Every structure is written in structure tokens, then in C-alpha cells.
A and B are shown apart, each in its own frame.
Chain A
Amino acid sequence: MSNGINLVSSKSEAQAKEQKTLKLLKIFAVISLFSVALLSVVVFLINFTIPISAVKTQQEETLAQISTLSKKHAIYNLTKDRLTNISKVLKIRKDYAKSLNVIFTKIPSPLVVTDIRVENESLAMAVTGSSLISINDVIESLIEFSNSKKIISDLVIESLVFNPQNGEYVLGVKANIL
């Protein structure tokens, strides 16, 4: 009798569990179908309402407005083009005169620059004068420029020649202009 009662109880428990699972499965199925349907509609509606064509229409209107200012637009573009190119040219061009002027400020009045050659950023210069002290000052100034890599670099004193006929010294130097 007891065994029979236990069997009935176990069967109804299993059935209840099965029913519960079935119920959950049904709920899940309904929710998933409903979610998919809802999501499809929402995504479709969002896609449908994205105002790309309205933005394009506005673009066309603005382009039409800009076309009334086409002359100004063209001048503006040409101005920008000139500015860019001038700026580039000014960056690449070397101002040798500026460097030479700085060097000239270090040459005292009794001395005269008799020869200057600038080619491919290389400077060759001859300074003439009767004062050896002034020539020494010039050499010191040039060495200072070269050491500080200011104006010139790689200074080479090529010659220091004394001309007994006129009593003048001629200093020949070579350097790279920075």
C-alpha cells in the first residue's frame, strides 16, 4: 500500500515538473517571437526615418547658395594657393646676405673684404689689411661663430699671406654657411 502511494506521488511530481518546463518554454517562445517582431519593426522604422535625403536636399540648397559666390570662392582658393606656395618658398630660400652682413659686422674698419664667393652653401672669403691684430680679431670672431654653429660652420683658414710690396696681409677663409 505504501509503495503504491509513493509511486503515485513521484509520477505527479514529474508531471508537475514537466508542466512547469512546458510553461516556461512557452513563455520563452512567445517572448522571443514577440521580441523579434518588435525589434524588426523598430529597426525598420528607425531605418525609414533616417533623414539622409532631407540632409542631401539641404546640401543642394547650400551648394546653390555657394554658387552665387563662386567668384569669391575662386579668389579665396587662389589666395590660399599663393599663400601656401610663398610660405614654402620662403622656408627653402637661403638668405646669404643676412649671414654675410653679420660676418661683416665683425670686420673692423682697417680691414677690407676683397673677395667673397658663395656657392652651394659654401663661403670663401678674403680679408685684406695691414693690421695683424685686426686680422686676429676677425679670426677669433669667425672661430666663435663656427664653434657656436651660428652663421657658419666647419671654418678653415686657408691662408694668411703677407705682401711685402704694399705691407698688407691677406686672410683667406672657407666655411659652410648655415
Chain B
Amino acid sequence: MDLYNLNKGLNLKDLDLNVSLVNILYRQYKAFLLPIVAIIVSIILVGIIIIPQTQILLKNQEELKKEQDKLSILKNNYSLLSSMDEADLNANLQTLSKVLPNGKDFIGVINTISYNSVRQDVSIDDFSFQVGEISKDLADEAEFPFLTLTLNVSGNPQSVLRFISELYKSVPVVQVINIKTTSGQSTLKLQFYHKAFVKGGISADSAIAPLSKQETELINTVSSWNDTSQGLFLPIGISSDAQAASPSATGTPSPF
């Protein structure tokens, strides 16, 4: 027998011995095999069924909570909308739209200036609007677009200040940015704010809340301001171009 055959003989012998050992072990622990396999299968089932199912359950519960919240908001919205008085809502919106018009409100501006100048004993010498680009889409403008008006006023400084104070309590909302007063002549630079209404659809699932105390107070405050939109105060003509540039002026009949 050469060395190769000797090795081969030994290996076969070892293998034979191993198989015998496995056989012995199998016979000895045969009874343990089934429970161990059952436990391993259980563990595998936990991994492939229980864990994914539990994850789906948690996800579904989360979704249910979200949907229930949404339903609650919708129900609350419906309840609040039902309880609101449409006439009140309309009146509030009209008042607020005069305070901050949807577009350049030339008529409102001229009315408020003439109304307050008469009341505060100042005379308007001349004025000029800096209208800006009228073809520009209102929604694309700055956060608070405004119509600039330069106004020359005759009157003593106290009257001019009273005039400014009254302008601050008049519609549309205005800010005086420059004041120059010299020997009875004043030049005021005013900014009349406007803001386009929000475009786009109304989402029914955004929560509706009743008007807060601050909001109600704001409505009351601006309602008490001088509403000059109905009046016919100053015999000043404005050009048809300027009228055309006033998108919000459509609702109010022109006093000129």
C-alpha cells in the first residue's frame, strides 16, 4: 500500500467514525430534535410575520389617529360654520376690505383726504400719485404693496398734525412716511396700503376657529374709523387711466 492509499484509508476511516458519531448522537438526542426545530420555527415566524404585522398595526393606528383628528376638525368646522351668521361675516369682510383694499383704491384715497382736510381745516393744494407698474400681478407684489401719494397741504402745523391723526383713523389704512412743514405749507408723503386676496382653493380640513378677542377688537376698532367711502367730498377729477388702474374701485360708485 502506497502513501496515498494509506491516507485515503485513514480518511475513510475518520469519515466512517464521524457518521457513526452523528448516528449515535442522533439516536441519543432524537427526542430533542422536534422541540428545537419548533422553537427555531417560532423564532423565524416572529421575524417574518409578527414584527411586520405589528409594524403595520402601529402604522394603521397612527393613520387612524390622523384621520380621526381630521374628522374632528371637519366636524368642528361644520359646527362653527353653521353657527356663524352670514350677514355678520359679510359686514365684517366689507369693513375690513375698505381698511385694506384688494387693490389700489384711488377713490377711497381721494375721499379720505378730502374728508379729513375739510374736518381738520387744512386745504389741499395739489397731490400726485406714484402708481407704479399697474400691469403687474397684485399677488406677485411685495408683502404689503402701497400706493404712494405726495400731498401739499396749507395749514398750521397743529392742523396738519390733526389731519395726519385723522388719516390714521380713516380707511384705507395709511402711513405717513415724510412730513415737511415750513411757514404754513406742508408736504406729506403717504403710503396707502392694499393687499390682494389670497388666491387658490380653500382647504376644508384646515381648522376654523371663532374670531379671537384681539380680532374682534380689531374689527371694532376699524369699524369706528372714518368711513369715507360713501361720501362725495372733493371736487377733484381723476383720469380714466387712474380709475382703470384701480381694481378695487369697482364696488364703490365713483363720486367724480
Please report A residues at the B interface, Cβ cutoff 8 Å.
Answer: 21-22, 25-26, 28-30, 32-33, 35-36, 39-40, 43-44, 46-47, 50-52, 55-56, 58-59, 62-63, 65-67, 69-79, 81-83, 85-90, 92-98, 100-101, 104, 113-119
Contact = CB atoms under 8 A, between A and B. Distances in A.
A70 B197 CA distance: 17
28 contacts: A33-B38, A36-B49, A46-B57, A47-B56, A50-B61, A55-B71, A72-B84, A72-B89, A73-B81, A73-B208, A75-B93, A76-B84, A78-B93, A79-B92, A79-B93, A79-B96, A81-B198, A86-B96, A87-B214, A88-B144, A89-B195, A94-B175, A97-B168, A100-B161, A104-B157, A104-B158, A104-B161, A119-B178
B121 to A, nearest CB: 15
- Classify the secondary structure of A's interface with B: helix
The 5 closest A-B pairs by CB, nearest first: A82-B96, A29-B38, A29-B35, A97-B164, A32-B42
Count chain B CB atoms within 10 A of each CB in A30, A75, A83, A118 and give the residue with the most. A83
Contacts, number: 196
Contacts of A40: 45, 49-50, 53
B220 to A, nearest CB: 12
B197 A25 contact: no
Contacts of A56: 67
A88 B176 CA distance: 16
A178 to B, nearest CB: 16
B180 to A, nearest CB: 5
B202 interface: yes
Interface string B141-183: 0011000000000000110011011001000011111111111
